[in-house]
Structure 1
């Protein structure tokens, strides 16, 4: 039995497919008795399941703080961090820093996304492009991106430009690598079929290349989104006058661990929300796939 579904399948069709799958689990043995096969799939997706882990960590943190097992000066209680966050938000400090960080991360991410996709397409669809691009990107990947900061400061100055450039590099590398790998993994029989059908270059890219590369692209996109936040927290501590990283750096100088935890919490929330958004888009765009995760 082939377990596939076309894009746009209705809910009733999905329910019917699930019912058929359940019936397929039943088998008739040699004596004619019905026995059930062991289900090997993970089962249905639990709602908000990714929040269980963070909620458990938060609960353990709260219990340990209430029991006096944590030093308040080093690790303040969750309610203390929440009060600090509300205070920073009320006086406008946190709002300004969040807006600045979002602008930096968004600009770098947009540039990195465009560069990663464009380079992957050129390299994946042309041997000449692969010879010119792939080796250079692999060399760039082998060099620690944050190690390029001193050189970029000399080239671009110590303002916003070098920060955005570093974030773009952090983003484009995983997008390129995963998209290029997905393009290289497209079954050659699809290419032969497209040649037999006489597809144009544009139709070949639209009907074969894009669907085949999308799964790898979304993996790279998730890594790129996370990488933009990881790079930002370091870059905002270098000659910055605003941003979450700058706020945390200043808090370190004054021993304000609660403010540092507020910044880390905001970074974590942004990372979780952006990753969840990419996952949601991925499920919608690739709804035609029937995979283990779905």
Structure 2
């Protein structure tokens, strides 16, 4: 799901660096504004406007393009009078240019303009709120996301430690990569972490294999499931570890089972 929609969904459920003041050419600025407007119109929901051309593929392409804009480029959106375009500029600026954004546009956090989110079908997707209130919440959401993504290293270490502790042949384990990491949430907030791990290891048949395992962690950073290649699981009780234990795991003791909450 694209960045803008992720922020909106999560919010509704719940460097003092030098900035150039050099003006951007009007034609360049208009291109950025037109692209942002196309993104808004192709999205699933928008501020104070009903998306008229919902198109997920187009919206994703524009999302990637917007993420690459410089802060100077994003000022074209931040200075625009259209509330939806202004908010779009703010959201993308706070991801990579928080210090510069707050140095130059902190006044938007107290903006009392009333906003609502409209879905592509015209239905209202949120209670009415003030623009400044919404933007303040997006800043908090981004901070929380940054804090949670900072847990990736700890989660990687936990995965490697688990494999070394519970595999039949821990000496054969060779970590290669952790290609995918994601954070899940629901209407109550943070729900789970998922990470894929590619590694080499000797299986219980004594053969060296290269595998990818998907590890699912709960919000307390405990392993909740391990599946082959990928996982759509959110949670399992007791933890769903059968696949990995059958393929690579040693015989568990009662203490192991208690630690892993298998009994």
Specify if TM > 0.5: no
Richer in strand (by share): 2
Task: Give the TM-score taking structure 2 as reference length.
Answer: 0.24
Higher helix share: 1
Larger radius of gyration: 1
Q: Which has the higher contact order (CA 8 A, sep 6+)?
A: 1
| TM-score, with length taken from structure 1 | 0.22
